[in-house]
Structure 1
């Protein structure tokens, strides 16, 4: 219920159309109820009876006897007419009432459309904002397909199951209440009998709907797994084909897909049961009502035309009740999707920004790591263990070591993609956890081993996250990154598209675009994470030349294993199994003949091979 109420709070942004929707529904219900007493004179004429004579109420007009005055004026208007003429007038009145009823029904739907679409728009915006606000650690154990499912299938489920049903959930009770009031006016005893029957029906349907919600949750979770599996298979299609793993993946996919079909069948069976069950229960109630009502007519407790109007009012209840039951089923089904959306929206932020964070505009002194330890969630050992290191402003520090030694993790900690488990990382003497996160990120640029390009133009990928930039600034950054020449060789220059994830460019071209993006920001701190390791020798030379130009006089942290990248660094920090084993310049560490010396010799042998 809490999730549903939070969804309802989104409606506050659409007060005017929602109010007009409610008013239209109310007017539709009123004209529906007004058509019930108007039908009684019609039945009297149809049964070849004389119309009742108008009798003025003895008491003064009041709300309690408004129906009597309405009946008096209505019969006075018809008094003196021929039977055929009165029948024609009654037909016109009924047509007018039903026209107004359906007109306001359409208006209710008209005003609801911007509310439904607006709430869906807000939900997707909230989800996307939340995704961007979550720390990198949140995504370590999350499947991308499952997150995409929440954006697409779960939001769609909320729209189709809940928001689509809200109109019925509001309109149908109004029709039911209005019809019940008329029925109470005709015969309180019969109405009580009907109410008891409807209550029993509602309890039966409600019990089934609770099971529907549980099954729907399983369906949404399984669909998330399915989409995640497809996304991974598409992303790794080259590996799949290279290792001839099509059969293996097909088997796993069919297993998940088969289970999805299994649980979806059970959800649909339960949901589809609502309509026939409601109809069966409804006709059962009708038959019982016919029998009990006929006895009242035979005993003279109620006139035949009043009983027919009572039956019509009851029929006005059946469809709304059936629609309300279907809406209730749909809402229960949609609650599963809403819950998954809320799981993301309400996920705890493990890297919250402190209140009144310190501004950070310039890196003057440098960066200092004090006894830094870090463990990934669920890891058996620390990825970084008690590391202390100082990086002076304007210098380059290279992080080297074997694979898995913690180099990239240490760089991620400096960028505050993760928070340390213990110890501190200080920038100009201030703990990074006390700094304003947006200021910290504005002061740095990151170039990773696998450059991330978006399906946009080359220019927009270079200015990504920067905002507006002149063409001269973009070209200057591209020239510094040795990218301008190949860009100008493309069909549309800087307006050329790069394709999905930059697949229209080579690895070296993508890396130089990513480097141009970093250069354009002109950051005080540059973090390069294996920026040249995946490139061929020709591309590496071009990128390396650009890097040397960019790093000159700038605080830089370089994660690398190639000698060409690290030998000119002011400081080299050697990591092994998450620990800092030695630090110094290239010559100093070579003279020590320690871990760095071994590492360089192994790398030299590898390069000679």
Structure 2
């Protein structure tokens, strides 16, 4: 009964959430102004914000920031400083309580939601890939393209044969997908997959590593040529070699775009045009990497915290790993590492029965070998489980009766 009561309570809350009117209409194409090109700089003007679930906690306080067009702006700070909130307001997942967000000279609230979102491409920390082919995952950012490709012949087939047998629209989409994959440094490993672009890349599929999935997500983000690229800790969960590959790809795709990156690893934003250091919803300082290091302020303290355990060099001399390594060499190192992991897992599986047998020989008494090897019959096992479920038998019988 407790389970049914909890389910009923959850259903009531779910229905209330579904029926609650949204303050932001993200479905209409008629309301608001519609533009075909980016309008100018992105600007926060004295923005106050608190999440609806915690209205008493002010996340941003009189927050003002100008993000120049075609420049790289990085947001850094400790957890809870408001970095992700800024990203949410840029995407207009929420509206500010006080103050406004402007795109050029136009208030974001006056711009059509779909139009504003069409300018933005996002790469999150743990990007989710659909249970479809790599081709469809990249083309997913264009709804019409995804609908055209949504057919069984695209997945787990010979890509060249499937493309040759497809319509001109599909061939155009494939060409654009390949261009995006090349720009994201993903086409190389995609071509090495068994089915190439047609390889399945779902959440439960292990054929793509974490770095490869992030590059597919990056290709998906730039497939429709967004004017604003939002990177929400895109390299935070990757190893060093994969991080370098992703970072090189990000630097390439950031050229000619307004790029906003939220970074935990400060070494990944050395080339940013402006670094904004945040704390408790306010800006502490901003500037380029060398300028902030020279000030020896909050940013220098963050860098010092990240490098203290691994380096005793002065803060001005702290360097990240050399980025001059050849990308193919880095990719080879990643492939070798993954191959070593697979081999170690195979060896572990082969050695597991022997280890288990040796452990059991040590723990069992000499006179109990026959009893242990004999095992229990199905009937005795079933009766044992039934005795353990005795307190809940009434619910079992009730469920069986209801099913009949």
TM-score range, shorter chain: 0.5 to 0.7
Equivalent position of 2:140 in the other structure: 464
1:443 aligned onto 2:119: yes
Residues 422-478 of structure 1 show CA distances to partners (whole Å, capped at 9, x for unaligned) of: 111100111111110000111110001011111111110000131325222111211
Retained in 1: the 8 A contact 2:77–2:83?
yes
Q: For residues 367 and 576 of structure 1, what CA distance do their matches in structure 2 show?
A: 21
1:362 aligned onto 2:37: yes
1:487 aligned onto 2:163: no
Q: How does 1:33-432 map to 2 (within 5 A)?
A: 219=4, 222=7, 343=16, 345-352=18-25, 356-379=31-54, 380-432=56-108
Which residue, 586, 595, 600 being the options, matches 2:289? 586
Retained in 1: the 8 A contact 2:75–2:260?
yes
- How far is 1:539 from its partner? 0.6
Retained in 2: the 8 A contact 1:454–1:502?
no
Runs of 5+ consecutive residues of structure 1 not aligned to the other structure = 1-214, 226-336
Are residues 595 and 438 of structure 1, via their aligned partners in 2, closer, same or farther at CA, if it must alter by over 3 Å? same
Are residues 509 and 391 of structure 1, via their aligned partners in 2, closer, same or farther at CA, if it must alter by over 3 Å? same
In terms of mean alpha carbon deviation, does 408-417 or 442-451 score higher?
A: 408-417
Q: Radius of gyration: which is bigger? A: 1
Two-structure CA RMSD over aligned residues (Å): 2.5
Retained in 1: the 8 A contact 2:130–2:203?
yes
Q: For residues 389 and 528 of structure 1, what CA distance do their matches in structure 2 show?
A: 18
Equivalent position of 2:167 in the other structure: none
Q: For residues 596 and 340 of structure 1, what CA distance do their matches in structure 2 show?
A: 43
Retained in 2: the 8 A contact 1:364–1:393?
no
Residues 306-364 of structure 1 show CA distances to partners (whole Å, capped at 9, x for unaligned) of: xxxxxxxxxxxxxxxxxxxxxxxxxxxxxxx8x88864552211323697411132224
More helix, by proportion: 1
Q: For residues 588 and 517 of structure 1, what CA distance do their matches in structure 2 show?
A: 34
SS in 2 for 1:397: strand
Equivalent position of 1:106 in the other structure: none
What is the TM-score when the length of structure 1 is the normalising length? 0.44
Q: For residues 418 and 606 of structure 1, what CA distance do their matches in structure 2 show?
A: 39
Which residue, 552, 558, 578 being the options, matches 2:261? 558
Are residues 371 and 607 of structure 1, via their aligned partners in 2, closer, same or farther at CA, if it must alter by over 3 Å? farther
SS in 2 for 1:470: helix
In terms of mean alpha carbon deviation, does 549-558 or 463-472 score higher?
A: 463-472
Q: For residues 547 and 593 of structure 1, what CA distance do their matches in structure 2 show?
A: 28
Retained in 2: the 8 A contact 1:360–1:439?
yes
Equivalent position of 1:535 in the other structure: 238
Are residues 514 and 493 of structure 1, via their aligned partners in 2, closer, same or farther at CA, if it must alter by over 3 Å? same
More strand, by proportion: 2
1:454 aligned onto 2:134: no
Retained in 1: the 8 A contact 2:232–2:262?
yes
Q: For residues 341 and 412 of structure 1, what CA distance do their matches in structure 2 show?
A: 23
Retained in 2: the 8 A contact 1:572–1:584?
yes
Q: For residues 105 and 299 of structure 2, what CA distance do their matches in structure 1 show?
A: 29
Retained in 2: the 8 A contact 1:529–1:558?
yes
Q: For residues 481 and 387 of structure 1, what CA distance do their matches in structure 2 show?
A: 33
Runs of 5+ consecutive residues of structure 2 not aligned to the other structure = 146-171, 313-404
Q: For residues 501 and 392 of structure 1, what CA distance do their matches in structure 2 show?
A: 40
- Relative contact order (C-alpha < 8 Å, sep 6+): which is higher? 2
Residues 530-576 of structure 1 show CA distances to partners (whole Å, capped at 9, x for unaligned) of: 00111101111110110000001210101012233211111111101
- How far is 1:606 from its partner? 4.6
- How far is 1:500 from its partner? 2.8
